[in-house]
Amino acid sequence: MIDLEVRIPDTPGSLIELIKPISNNGGNIFGILHHHDKKLNNMIPVNITFELNEKLKETSLENIKKDLREKNIRIDKIALGIEKRHITIIMTGHVFDTDVVDTITRLAKKGIKVKELQAKFTEISEKSNVKFKLDFPESISKEELIRELNIICKEKDLILIHS
Amino acid sequence: MKLNCCLIGKGNVGTCLLELIEEKKPTLKNMGIDLVVIAIFEFDGALINHNGLNISKIIEIGDNFRNLEEWNENLSALDSIPNLNLDICIETTPTNPKTGEPAISHILKAIENHIDVVASNKGPFYLHYRKIDNLARQNNCFVKYEATVASCVPAISIKESLLANEIISIKAILNGTSNYILSRMSSEGVDFSLALKEAQELGYAESDPSLDIEGYDAAGKIVILSNALLDWNMNINDVEINGISKITPQAIELAKSDGFVIKHLAIAKNNKLIVKPRMIDKDSPLNIGGTLNVIEFKTKHAGPIILMGRGAGGYEAASAILNDIISIHKIRSRR
C-alpha cells in the first residue's frame, strides 16, 4: 500500500489531474482524503492511498512521480506501507473440534492474520467446512504459508484447499 | 512408402483405430503412406497375415474376429514382434498402473528390434519413461505417445511448435471423470457420491473409479507431460496426490461465495509435481465444465498458452495414434 501526500489547487479539475497519473500507471486507489481545514494559499493537502502491481511497483511509482512533477503537483510525502498479501483457503474436517483457536494462534505467531472466517456445517457433530481469509506479510512467501497450513492440517486431519 | 505395423490390443481404441485407418486410406495414400496392418494381437492370440490383414472384413466381423482363418490361438505379441518385419508397433492395451505390463515389455521389445512405437497406454510412460527414452535413442527409434495425455489434444506435440520458446510450468485438468463430478457438485449442489453415481450411469466413470477420483490417473499424465515438455526425470511416485472424494458441497459453496471454483488440478512447477483440489477464479480459462480437459502451458516468451478439448474416447485416441504414425513417416521419409 502506498500513501501519497500532495498539495493541489482548490480549483475544479485538480483532483482528476492528481488521479490520472496513478490510474494510468495501474494504481488501484483505495481512498482520498482532502484536508480542507489545512488549506493554505488556495492549496489543499491531499492524501491518496493506492496499491500497485507488486512486480511493476518500482517502475510504476517512478512513472507516477515523474507524471506528477510534469503536472507541477508537489509531492510532500510518500509512505510505503507494510505490504500485506491475501489468500483464501478452505479447511474441511473437524476444524472446530481440533481447536480452531489454536490454529488461528499458531498462524498469528507467524504473522499470518485471519481477517475473516466463515463456516458451513451439515450437522454440528459432522465435519465442518471453514473458509479463512488470511493476510500475510511480505516476509513470508506463499509457499511458506502453504507449508505452515499443511503442517497444521496434517496434524489435525483436515483437508486444505487453497487458491 | 509401405509401413508394416502391428496393433497390440483390439479394445475400443484399437477398433476405432482400424476404422480410422480405413476411413483415412485416401488421405494416407496422398501422403505416400501405404499402412499395412500385418498383425493384431489380443491377450489370447493374434490375427496374422504377412501380406496385410483385411481390415474392412475385421471391422465388419466385430467381436467374432477370432473365427477368421488368420487367427492364431495363444500367439503372443512378445514372441512375435521380432519376427514380423515391422516398421511400427502400435500399443493400445489397457493401462496397468502398478507395473505398466504388458505394454512396457511390448514397447521395449519393439525398440530392441529397431521398430518405432506409437502407444496410447500411459503406464509405461509414467513408470519407466527414462528407460524407454534411453533405449529408443540407443536404437535410433521413434516412440510417440500423444494419446496418453488428453487424447487427441496436442499436449505433447505442442513442443514442436514452441521450439524457439520454452515451457516453464504446466497447470492442467487432465481427468474428465473428476472434472465432471466437481462440475456437477458445483452446478447442482449435489454431494460427491451422487455426482459419482451419475458419472457411472453416464459411462464417464469406471465401476472402480479410484484411479480417477483419487488423482492417480491425472498424476500419471502430469508425469508424462513434465518429462516430455520440461525435460524432467520423474515417475508417478514423485507426485504429491490428493483426491476429490472428500470435497463437500459446502466447501464448493464457500468457494463460490468468493468467486472461486474448486477444480482438481495437476501442476508441474519448480521441479515439483502435484495433483490436488485447488480453488481457481471462476473466470479462469481453466474453469471448464463436464468431461473436458484443459492444459495451460506457461511459456518463457509468450506467457500462458492454453489447449482444451475432449480428453478421452476411442476415436479421439485413435486420431492421436494415426497422427503419430504420420509424423513418424514424415520424419523417416525426410532422412
Q: Do domains A2-80 and A85-162 have the same CATH topology?
A: yes
- Best A88, A89, A90 residue to mutate vs chain B (most B CBs within 10 Å): A90
CA distance B277 to B294: 15
For residue B127, count other CB atoms closer than 10 A to its CB.
23
Distance, in angstroms, between B108 CA and closest chain A CA?
A: 40
B140 lies in the same domain as B19:
yes
Better pLDDT: A81 or B316: B316
Say whether B279 and A131 touch across the interface (CB within 8 A).
Answer: no
Q: Are residues B55 and B169 in the same domain?
A: no
Give the closest of A88, A129, A161 to B277, CB-based.
A161
**Structural domain harbouring B20:** 2-152+314-334
- Averaged pLDDT score across all residues of chain A: 90
Is a pLDDT exceeding 90 seen at residue B223? yes
Residue B105, pLDDT above cutoff 80:
yes
pLDDT of res. A83: 61
- CB nearest B279 (choices: A92, A121, A163): A163
- Does B170 share its domain with B40? no
Q: Is pLDDT of B39 > 70? A: yes
Q: CB–CB of A161 and B258 under 8 A? A: no
- To test the contact with chain B by mutation, choose from A129, A132, A146 the residue with the greatest count of B C-beta atoms within 10 A, namely A129
Instruction: Write down the domain spans for chain A.
Output: 2-80, 85-162
Taking CB atoms and an 8 Å limit, are B247 and A92 in contact across chains?
A: yes
Q: Does pLDDT of A85 surpass 90?
A: no
Number of domains within chain B: 2
Q: Ramachandran region of residue B172, left (φ > 0), alpha (ψ -120 to 50) or beta?
A: beta
The dihedral sign for the CA sequence A150, A153, A155, A157: negative
Q: Which string of DSSP letters, residue by residue, matches chain A?
A: -EEEEEEEESSTTHHHHHHHHHHHTT-EEEEEEE-GGG-BTTEEEEEEEEE--GGGHHHHHHHHHHHHHHTTPEEEEEEEPPPEEEEEEEEEESTTTTTHHHHHHHHHHTT-EEEEEEEEESSTTS-EEEEEEEEEETTS-HHHHHHHHHHHHHHTT-EEEE-
Q: What is the mean pLDDT of residues A8-37?
A: 91
The predicted-structure confidence for A100-134, as pLDDT tens digits, reads as follows: 999 999 999 999 999 999 999 877 778 899 999 99
**Which of A118, A122, A159 is closest, CB to CB, to B254?**
A118
* Confidence (pLDDT) at A58: 82
Residue B213 and residue B73 share a domain: no
**N-terminal to C-terminal alpha carbon distance within chain B:** 13
Question: Same structural domain for residues B293 and B320?
Answer: no
- Residues on chain B touching A159 (C-beta within 8 angstroms): 242, 246-247, 277
Per-chain mean pLDDT for chain B: 96
Residues from chain B contacting residue A133 (CB–CB below 8 Å): 258
Q: Candidates 2.60.40.10, 3.30.70.260, 3.40.50.720, 3.40.50.12500; correct CATH number of A85-162?
A: 3.30.70.260
Cβ <8 Å between A122 and B250: yes
Q: Which residues of B are catalytic?
A: 221
Distance in Å, alpha carbon of B33 to nearest chain A alpha carbon? 49
Whether B248 has its CB under 8 Å from any CB of chain A: the answer is yes
Q: Could you tell me the pLDDT band of residue B178, with boundaries at 50, 70 and 90? A: very high
If asked whether residues B88 and B26 sit together in one domain, one would say yes
Based on the fold, state whether residues B46 and B90 are members of the same structural domain. Answer: yes
Closest CA in chain B for residue A121: B250
The reported pTM is 0.83
Is the predicted pLDDT of residue A36 greater than 70, yes or no? yes
Contact: B248, A127; criterion CB under 8 Å: yes
Split at pLDDT 50, 70, 90, the class of A82 is low
Q: With an 8 Å Cβ cutoff, is B75 touching chain A?
A: no
* Residue to test with chain B: of A118, A131, A132, most B Cβ within 10 A: A131
What confidence category does residue A139 fall into, taking pLDDT thresholds of 50, 70 and 90? Answer: confident
Predicted confidence (pLDDT) at residue B258 exceeds the cutoff of 90: yes
- Neighbour order of strands in the sheet with B116-119: B71-73, B45-48, B34-42, B2-8, B88-91, B116-119, B143-144
Contacts of A130 in chain B (CB under 8 A): 254
B235: CATH: 3.30.360.10
Architecture category of domain A2-80 in CATH: 2-Layer Sandwich (3.30)
- Between A and B, how many CB-CB pairs are < 8 A? 54
Please check whether residues B24 and B113 belong to one and the same domain.
Answer: yes
Cα A83 off chain centre by = 7
Residues B75-95 have pLDDT tens digits of 999 999 999 999 999 999 999
Cβ of B123: how many Cβ atoms within 10 Å?
A: 23
Q: Are the beta carbons of B131 and B159 closer than 8 angstroms?
A: no
φ, ψ dihedrals at A19, nearest 5°: -70, -40
Q: B302-322 pLDDT, tens per residue?
A: 999 999 999 989 999 999 999
Q: Do B274 and B330 belong to one domain?
A: no
Residue A32, pLDDT > 70, answer: yes
| Residue A71 Cα, gap to closest chain B Cα (Å) | 35
